[in-house]
Amino acid sequence: MRFTDVLYSVDDGVARITINRPEVYNALRGKTTDEMAVALKEASADPSVRAVVISGSGPNAFCSGRDQAEDRSSPEYSGDPDVDYTAIIRNLPKPVIAEVDGFAIGSGNILAYLCDFTVASTRSTFGQTGPRVGSPATGFGVAYLAQILGQKRAREMWMLTQQYSGQQAFDMGLVNSVVSHDKLAAEVDRYCALIKNNSPVILQLQKLTFNEVTQYMEEIPAAAGRYAPNYITSDEAEERRLAFIERRPIDPSKNLPLVNTD
Each residue of 108-162: pLDDT tens digit?
Answer: 999 999 999 999 999 999 999 999 999 899 999 999 999 999 999 999 999 999 9
Q: For residue 68, what pLDDT is reported? A: 80
User: Residue 1: pLDDT above 70?
Assistant: no
Fold of 6-213: 2-enoyl-CoA Hydratase; Chain A, domain 1 (3.90.226)
Q: For residue 197, what pLDDT is reported? A: 98
The structural domains of the chain, with segments of one domain joined by +, span 6-213
Q: For residue 239, what pLDDT is reported? A: 95
DSSP alpha helix (H) spans, 129-197: 130-133, 140-149, 151-160, 166-172, 184-196
How do strand 103-105 and strand 61-63 relate by DSSP bridges?
parallel
Q: For residue 71, what pLDDT is reported? A: 66
Angle 86-242-79 from CA coordinates, rounded to 5°: 30
Q: What pTM does this model have?
A: 0.94
Q: Return all residues near 145 (Cβ < 8 A) that are at least 6 apart.
A: 113, 154, 157, 158
Tell me the average pLDDT across 5-19. Answer: 98
Q: Return all residues near 116 (Cβ < 8 A) that are at least 6 apart.
A: 95, 96, 97, 207
pLDDT, tens digit, for every residue of 31-70?
A: 999 999 999 999 999 999 999 999 999 989 999 999 887 7
